[in-house]
């Protein structure tokens, strides 16, 4: 673990204790780096960082939403209302927690905690400062998408346990919406993985000889199995390696991903399960006090998760142009300080806030759909569009439209087939 | 599949005032709907009988927050009819200008509310921003934003000064531009079309049969406008067209209201150009001769009727207010049947309901064929006993 | 013709603009001429006839005996002066219109909120001229 960034930071900040730190590091390495992992999970880029960032993201989203509507948005709490989301949550935490008779009180209390935990775990997979998140293993993209489905399940359970008539209608709608957006979300999230597959695994599957031919590309890690393609770390790494974010290759998939993401996080054209002019607050109707605070925070976290995943899959995650240059020059200037990680974090934030800007803009543009229109639209337009982008990619790679793949590779492939 | 009864109201985020719809739903579809009004009875009609005509004007102004000028217009022109006096033309023109300005701000407010009901909050914020222009004009003319207190028996109380006329005319140009933009927007934005077209259809024959009024009936392709059919104030001289739309759905109501706004802008500009040069009001005596009168006026929400009976004193014997919303409830019940639960708010909002204006209380005993009214003390006593029994 | 995202140009045009919101307690728009605010009474002209009280739609005006703190040399024959309950007042200006001597007038002062219920019931500001 010699390349772990935090030791560099500590060493840079406290050079006089370098000896002690080195010994400490050695001991910790012998102990399996538990403390370092704890620091990562709890402080950066774990729970504390992500919670603060999600609150800031909510403020940013509200501000953009308001400015597009020619309003000011939150203004009076802190600098231009920057503390408003925090104030909302503190206020809700102090409020009375009302459970109406007839509700499943314990299950109802458990659901928001479950939702909160889920959203925090989901955020652990998002790469913040390097191409892998805190949790990263082969096939974690599928796990993350599955966890997001589980999050929708907590929503359904909340509405169900509250035994409220509006809650039940909202629950039914949440279930319907899950049917609508789940498949386009997964399809569009898998498109980057398919691109990665074209880079690495096809030659591997065909022949070991071809691997060496293909290996002339500047590849650092070469995935060999199907699950390694479905790994967020590999997808971001590939984008860094070829120096191009996948949004340029798969713009339609990016659009489909953003739209189904808005359905997932229940933002305006798809806020059907909690449409407040229709069914009061839908599944949230009976949620109050601390539960509502937890739900608000977890929905903020899910918003951030969505933006982070979009950034990782389509915009290159923490890798940006000039990353290498900045790293090398500053490394020379500043010595051991891990500037790459700092740049990575900055690029990650820039991309996340760009995605949030897009979502906030989309939020202002549309009227709310009816639930039947959501399902219809998803199956009629979103899924075919997601497939269309995959088909286009197939064509592009097969016929070598962009000239990425060398012609002789194609010839060799044909020769092998013969 | 069994049906579930979902109560919408008396307290519900989509409703700005208390009213109850008990809708029976089967999945997402509404099978049956029942409207129940009577949560916001204020006893204004009774209070009118205890006050003089002058004080009644300000009381009736508070029947409705949005169409406050409509109520006073209807009342004052009824009383003027009873007195058998001709109001000076300039007074009538200014009265009509304020009427049309009020129609502008009422329709603009409605457009925002409709946008909010279908989840299009941006439309709400933009329309309400543009509505401020009209509110400012009303404040310039009358001295208040909502309860203008312009009408008095025998004319209007304030004149429109000469320096104000260019500002008003220029403002109307801006406002017309905005209206045209919103018409274009509403007929182009696919999500708005999805939520309004083919929703809450009220066919022409049903609109006639159920006695709908105002933009609701005009959106069902019925050419009915009290300003044209029975011109009051200066409407007999002002050129304008009655706007209708023939698709009979919520979108038709949106379109009719926006077209009416454009017409109103033109009317105001015409009236400002042709403002007569005589007095604005007559000083009339306070005692009104015996008689009864039915006064009609096309309020922004539809035909408004005041029935005034006088007994020769300075207080009316009976004032009856028939607000347009009351006439539109049967159509709402008709439109709600068979729609989606998501469309309930926009269908209810499409008639632009004003609920507290509508509420009246009368006790009816069907067997004994008797009707009677309670006064406030009896109501209070009943309320106290009701809550004691419930032990709340 | 349906055109998705029809409002986008309008939104982007308004995005860099100054918001329409007025931060009311910190910045105030000037009131328009003719705004109906708090009352003012010209003591010299008031004859204490009580027409204003009679015509007030919400019975907010009450005629009270000449208070001690008012200049006694201006005391009218009836010895009465109107007291306005601003909590009930509708600001309709009917009292100003009804006054036969033009003794009442309305100022442009509209910020009348108080913490004290009693502070609303006041004897109108006098102007001795």
Domain boundaries, chain A: 1-42, 44-417
By the CB < 8 Å criterion, does C115 face chain A?
Answer: no
Task: Tell me if A158 sits within 8 A of A111, measured CB to CB.
Answer: yes
> Largest alpha-carbon pair distance within chain C?
78
Mean pLDDT of A161-165: 83
The answer on pLDDT for B221 being more than 50 is: yes
- Least Cα distance to B230 among B150, B276, B294 occurs for B294
User: For residue B107, what pLDDT band results from cuts at 50, 70 and 90?
Assistant: very high
Percent of chain A with pLDDT over 70: 78
Q: Write out chain A residues lying below 8 Å of C8, CB-based.
A: 361, 365
Mean pLDDT of A82-86: 91
- Least Cα distance to B75 among B97, B51, B107 occurs for B51
**Beta strands B316-322 and B302-310: pairing type?**
antiparallel
The answer on pLDDT for A333 being more than 70 is: no
Identify the residue among B115, B118, B128, B344 best suited for mutation to test binding to A, counting A beta carbons within 10 A and taking the highest: B118
Q: Write out chain B residues lying below 8 Å of A375, CB-based.
A: none
Is residue B330 in a domain? yes
Dump strand ranges (E) for A35-153.
Answer: none
For residue C62, give its domain range: 36-127
- Least Cα distance to B185 among C16, A364, A269, C2 occurs for C2
Length of chain C: 129
CA distance linking residue A303 with residue A309, whole number of Å? 10
Asked if B125 lies within 8 A of A276 by C-beta distance, the reply is no
Neighbours of A136 (CB within 10 A): 16
By the CB < 8 Å criterion, does B6 face chain A?
Answer: yes
Asked if C56 lies within 8 A of B59 by C-beta distance, the reply is no
What is residue B265's predicted lDDT score, i.e. its pLDDT?
92
Is residue C50 in a domain? yes
Minimum-distance CB partner of A70 among C5, C19, C23: C19
Asked if C21 lies within 8 A of A71 by C-beta distance, the reply is yes
Question: A396 or B37, which is more confident?
Answer: B37
Direct distance between the N- and C-terminal alpha carbons of chain A, in angstroms, rounded to an integer: 47
Report residue A200 as tokens: 């690495």
Minimum-distance CB partner of C1 among B54, B61, B188: B188
Q: Which helix (H) or strand (E) is B281 found in, with range?
A: none
Tens-place pLDDT, residues A198-225: 666 444 443 343 333 333 333 334 445 5
Look at the block and give the residue holding tokens 């996340």: A352
The answer on pLDDT for B145 being more than 50 is: yes
The answer on pLDDT for A286 being more than 90 is: no
* DSSP conformational letter for B286: S
Tens-place pLDDT, residues C61-114: 888 888 877 788 777 788 888 888 888 888 888 888 888 888 888 888 888 888
What is residue B315's predicted lDDT score, i.e. its pLDDT?
87
Asked if B192 lies within 8 A of A370 by C-beta distance, the reply is no
Q: Which residues contact A100 (CB under 8 A, 6 or more apart)?
A: A162, A164, A286
The answer on pLDDT for A368 being more than 70 is: yes
Question: B292 or C67, which is more confident?
Answer: B292
Question: Which of the residue ranges A272-286, A294-308, B84-98, B312-326 would you say has the lowest mean pLDDT?
Answer: A272-286
The answer on pLDDT for A140 being more than 50 is: yes
CA distance linking residue A19 with residue A13, whole number of Å? 13
Q: Interhelix angle for B53-61 vs B68-83, to 10°?
A: 160
CA distance A381 to chain B (A): 14
User: For residue A239, what pLDDT band results from cuts at 50, 70 and 90?
Assistant: confident
Task: Tell me if B253 sits within 8 A of B92, measured CB to CB.
Answer: no
CA distance C60 to chain B (A): 12
Neighbouring chains of A at 3+ CB pairs under 8 Å are B, C
Task: Tell me if B193 sits within 8 A of B251, measured CB to CB.
Answer: yes
Highest mean pLDDT among A135-144, A294-303, B191-200, B366-375: A294-303
Is residue B21 in a domain? no
CA distance A274 to chain C (A): 23
Asked if A365 lies within 8 A of C11 by C-beta distance, the reply is yes
Task: Tell me if B219 sits within 8 A of B347, measured CB to CB.
Answer: no
CA distance linking residue C3 with residue A366, whole number of Å? 12
Mean pLDDT of A228-254: 78
What is residue A325's predicted lDDT score, i.e. its pLDDT?
47
CA distance A69 to chain C (A): 7
- Tally of helices (H runs) and strands (E runs) in chain B: 15, 10
CA distance linking residue A345 with residue A352, whole number of Å? 10
Give the residues across from C81 on adjacent strands. C64
By the CB < 8 Å criterion, does C25 face chain B?
Answer: no
Is residue B243 in a domain? yes
Identify the residue among C2, C14, C17, C27 best suited for mutation to test binding to A, counting A beta carbons within 10 A and taking the highest: C14
CA distance linking residue B273 with residue B261, whole number of Å? 19
CA distance linking residue C83 with residue C65, whole number of Å? 10
**Beta strands C80-85 and C61-65: pairing type?**
antiparallel
Task: Tell me if A77 sits within 8 A of A89, measured CB to CB.
Answer: no
How far does CA B18 lie from the centroid of its chain?
A: 17
CA distance linking residue B87 with residue B281, whole number of Å? 7
- Least Cα distance to A287 among A161, A117, A394, A184 occurs for A161
Averaged pLDDT of chain B: 86
CA distance linking residue B175 with residue B182, whole number of Å? 11
Mean pLDDT of B89-105: 90
Question: Which of the residue ranges A19-23, A26-30, A324-328 would you say has the lowest mean pLDDT?
Answer: A324-328
**Beta strands B363-365 and B370-372: pairing type?**
antiparallel
CA distance linking residue B386 with residue C112, whole number of Å? 38
What is residue B323's predicted lDDT score, i.e. its pLDDT?
87
The answer on pLDDT for B147 being more than 70 is: yes
The residues in A 168-227 lying below 8 A from B, measured between CB atoms, are: 168-169, 172-173
Report residue A57 as tokens: 């993201």
Asked if B119 lies within 8 A of A277 by C-beta distance, the reply is yes
- Tally of helices (H runs) and strands (E runs) in chain A: 20, 0
| Closest CA in chain C for residue A360 | C11
Look at the block and give the residue holding tokens 């009236």: B271
- Least Cα distance to A344 among A192, A56, A132, A120 occurs for A132
CA distance B226 to chain A (A): 33
Is residue C118 in a domain? yes
What is residue C128's predicted lDDT score, i.e. its pLDDT?
58
Highest mean pLDDT among A341-345, A394-398, B171-175: B171-175
Is residue C87 in a domain? yes
CA distance B66 to chain C (A): 16
Mean pLDDT of B246-254: 89
Report residue B272 as tokens: 């400002």
Identify the residue among C6, C8, C12, C24 best suited for mutation to test binding to A, counting A beta carbons within 10 A and taking the highest: C8
By the CB < 8 Å criterion, does B145 face chain C?
Answer: no
Is residue C6 in a domain? no
CA distance linking residue B66 with residue B43, whole number of Å? 19
CA distance linking residue B142 with residue B286, whole number of Å? 23
**What ipTM did this prediction achieve?**
0.85
| Closest CA in chain C for residue B61 | C92
The CATH number of residue C96's host domain is 3.30.70.3270
Question: A131 or B308, which is more confident?
Answer: B308
| Closest CA in chain A for residue C13 | A68
CA distance linking residue A382 with residue A376, whole number of Å? 9
CA distance linking residue B65 with residue B40, whole number of Å? 14
Asked if B143 lies within 8 A of C56 by C-beta distance, the reply is no
By the CB < 8 Å criterion, does C129 face chain B?
Answer: no
Counted domains in chain C:
1
Give the residues across from C39 on adjacent strands. C106
User: For residue A412, what pLDDT band results from cuts at 50, 70 and 90?
Assistant: low
Counted domains in chain B:
1
| Closest CA in chain B for residue A275 | B119
The residues in B 31-70 lying below 8 A from C, measured between CB atoms, are: 51-52, 54-59, 61-62
Minimum-distance CB partner of C2 among B136, B181, B190: B190
Asked if A68 lies within 8 A of C17 by C-beta distance, the reply is no
Percent of chain A with pLDDT over 90: 16
By the CB < 8 Å criterion, does A72 face chain C?
Answer: yes
CA distance A73 to chain C (A): 9
Task: Tell me if A283 sits within 8 A of A159, measured CB to CB.
Answer: yes
CA distance linking residue A174 with residue A155, whole number of Å? 7
Asked if A268 lies within 8 A of B126 by C-beta distance, the reply is no
Q: Write out chain B residues lying below 8 Å of A364, CB-based.
A: 121-122
CA distance linking residue A145 with residue A235, whole number of Å? 15
Direct distance between the N- and C-terminal alpha carbons of chain B, in angstroms, rounded to an integer: 36
Neighbours of A280 (CB within 10 A): 22
What is residue A53's predicted lDDT score, i.e. its pLDDT?
92
Look at the block and give the residue holding tokens 């005034």: B308
Look at the block and give the residue holding tokens 């989840």: B119
Is residue C68 in a domain? yes
CA distance A247 to chain B (A): 26
By the CB < 8 Å criterion, does B122 face chain C?
Answer: yes
Report residue B171 as tokens: 């403002």
Q: Half-sphere exposure of B78 toward its Cβ, with a 13 Å CA cutoff? A: 30
Neighbouring chains of C at 3+ CB pairs under 8 Å are A, B
By the CB < 8 Å criterion, does C7 face chain A?
Answer: yes
Q: Which helix (H) or strand (E) is B25 found in, with range?
A: strand B20-26
CA distance A66 to chain C (A): 9
Asked if A278 lies within 8 A of B341 by C-beta distance, the reply is yes
Return the HEC string of B350-385: HCCCCHHHHCCCCEEECCCCEEECCCHHHHHHHHHH
CA distance C87 to chain A (A): 30
CA distance linking residue A268 with residue B195, whole number of Å? 14
Identify the residue among A168, A270, A277 best suited for mutation to test binding to B, counting B beta carbons within 10 A and taking the highest: A277
Q: Give the burial class of A267: count Cβ atoms within 10 A of its Cβ; 0-12 exposed, 13-18 middle, 19 or more buried.
A: buried
Is residue B387 in a domain? no
CA distance linking residue A231 with residue A201, whole number of Å? 13
CA distance C29 to chain A (A): 17
The CATH number of residue B169's host domain is 1.10.645.10
């Amino acid at each position: 673990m010699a390349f772990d960034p935090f030791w560099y930071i500590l060493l840079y900040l406290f050079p006089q204790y370098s000896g002690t730190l080195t010994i400490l590091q050695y001991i910790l390495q012998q102990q399996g780096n538990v403390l370092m992992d704890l620091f990562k999970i709890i402080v950066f880029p774990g729970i504390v960082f992500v919670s603060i960032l999600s609150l800031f993201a909510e403020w940013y989203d509200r501000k953009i939403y308001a400015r597009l509507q020619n309003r000011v948005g939150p203004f009076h709490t802190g600098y231009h209302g920057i503390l408003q989301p925090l104030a909302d949550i503190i206020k809700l935490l102090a409020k009375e927690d009302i459970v109406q008779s007839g509700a499943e009180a314990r299950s109802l209390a458990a659901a928001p905690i479950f939702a909160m935990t889920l959203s925090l775990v989901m955020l652990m997979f998002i790469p913040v400062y390097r191409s892998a998140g805190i949790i990263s293993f082969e096939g974690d993209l599928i796990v993350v998408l599955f966890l997001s489905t589980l999050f929708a399940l907590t929503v359904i359970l909340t509405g169900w346990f509250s035994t409220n008539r509006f809650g039940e209608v909202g629950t039914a709608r949440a279930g319907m919406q899950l049917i609508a957006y789940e498949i386009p979300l997964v399809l569009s999230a898998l498109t980057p993985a398919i691109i990665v597959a074209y880079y690495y695994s096809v030659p591997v599957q065909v022949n070991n000889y071809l691997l060496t031919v293909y290996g002339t590309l500047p590849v650092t890690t070469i995935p060999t199995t199907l699950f390694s393609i479905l790994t967020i770390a590999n997808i971001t790494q590939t984008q860094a390696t070829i120096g191009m974010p996948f949004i340029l290759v798969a713009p339609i998939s990016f659009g489909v991903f953003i739209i189904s993401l808005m359905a997932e996080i229940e933002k305006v054209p798809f806020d059907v399960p909690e449409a407040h002019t229709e069914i009061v607050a839908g599944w949230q109707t009976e949620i109050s006090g601390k539960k509502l605070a937890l739900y608000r925070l977890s929905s903020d976290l899910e918003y951030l998760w969505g933006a982070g995943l979009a950034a990782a899959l389509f915009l290159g995650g923490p890798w940006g142009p000039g990353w290498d240059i900045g790293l090398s020059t500053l490394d020379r200037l500043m010595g051991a300080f891990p500037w790459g990680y700092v740049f990575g974090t900055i690029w990650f934030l820039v991309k996340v806030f760009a995605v949030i800007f897009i979502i906030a803009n989309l939020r202002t543009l549309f009227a709310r759909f009816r639930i039947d229109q959501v399902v219809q639209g998803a199956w009629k337009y979103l899924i075919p569009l997601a497939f269309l982008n995959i088909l286009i990619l197939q064509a592009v790679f097969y016929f070598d439209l962009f000239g990425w793949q060398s012609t002789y590779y194609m010839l060799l492939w044909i020769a092998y087939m013969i | 599949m069994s049906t579930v009864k979902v109560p919408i109201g008396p307290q519900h985020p989509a409703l700005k005032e208390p009213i109850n719809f008990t809708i029976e739903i089967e999945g997402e579809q509404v099978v049956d709907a029942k409207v129940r009004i009577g949560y916001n009875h204020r006893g204004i009609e009774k209070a009118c009988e205890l006050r003089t005509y002058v004080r009644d004007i300000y009381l009736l102004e508070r029947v409705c927050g949005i169409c406050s000028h409509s109520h006073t217009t209807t009342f004052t022109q009824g009383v003027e009819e009873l007195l058998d006096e001709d109001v000076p033309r300039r007074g009538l023109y200014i009265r009509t200008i304020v009427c049309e300005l009020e129609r502008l701000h009422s329709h603009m407010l409605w457009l925002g509310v409709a946008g909010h009901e279908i989840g299009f909050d941006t439309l709400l914020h933009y329309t309400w921003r543009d509505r401020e222009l009209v509110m400012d004009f009303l404040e310039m003319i009358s001295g208040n934003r909502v309860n203008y207190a312009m009408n008095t028996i025998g004319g209007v109380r304030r004149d429109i000064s000469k320096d104000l006329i260019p500002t008003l005319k220029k403002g109307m140009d801006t406002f017309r531009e905005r209206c045209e933009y919103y018409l274009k927007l509403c007929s182009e934005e696919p999500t708005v079309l999805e939520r309004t077209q083919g929703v809450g259809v009220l066919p022409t024959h049903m609109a006639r049969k159920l006695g709908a009024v105002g933009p609701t009936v005009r959106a069902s392709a019925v050419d009915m406008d009290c300003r044209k059919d029975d011109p009051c104030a200066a409407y007999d001289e002002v050129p304008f067209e009655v706007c209708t739309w023939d698709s009979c759905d919520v979108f038709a109501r949106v379109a009719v209201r926006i077209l009416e706004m454009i017409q109103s802008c033109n009317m105001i500009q015409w009236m400002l150009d042709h403002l007569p040069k005589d007095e604005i009001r007559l000083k009339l005596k306070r005692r009104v001769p015996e008689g009864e009168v039915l006064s009609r006026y096309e309020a922004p929400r539809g035909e408004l009727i005041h029935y005034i009976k006088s007994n020769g004193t300075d207080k009316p014997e009976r004032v009856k207010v028939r607000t347009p919303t009351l006439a539109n409830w049967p159509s709402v019940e008709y439109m709600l049947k068979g729609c989606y639960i998501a469309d309930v708010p926009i269908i209810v909002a499409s008639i632009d309901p004003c609920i507290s204006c509508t509420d009246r209380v009368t006790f009816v005993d069907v067997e004994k064929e008797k009707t009677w009214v309670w006064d406030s003390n009896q109501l209070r006593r009943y309320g106290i006993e009701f809550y004691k029994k419930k032990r709340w | 013709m349906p055109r998705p995202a029809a409002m986008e140009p309008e939104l982007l045009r308004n995005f860099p603009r100054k918001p329409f919101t007025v931060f009311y307690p910190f910045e105030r728009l000037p009131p328009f001429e003719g705004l109906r605010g708090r009352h003012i009474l010209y003591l010299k002209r008031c004859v204490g006839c009580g027409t204003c009280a009679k015509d007030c739609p919400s019975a907010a005006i009450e005629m009270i005996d000449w208070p001690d703190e008012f200049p006694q040399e201006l005391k009218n024959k009836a010895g009465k002066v109107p007291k306005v309950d601003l909590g009930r007042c509708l600001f309709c200006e009917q009292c100003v219109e009804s006054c036969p001597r033009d003794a009442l007038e309305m100022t442009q002062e509209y910020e009348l909120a108080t913490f004290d219920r009693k502070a609303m019931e006041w004897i109108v500001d006098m102007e001795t001229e």
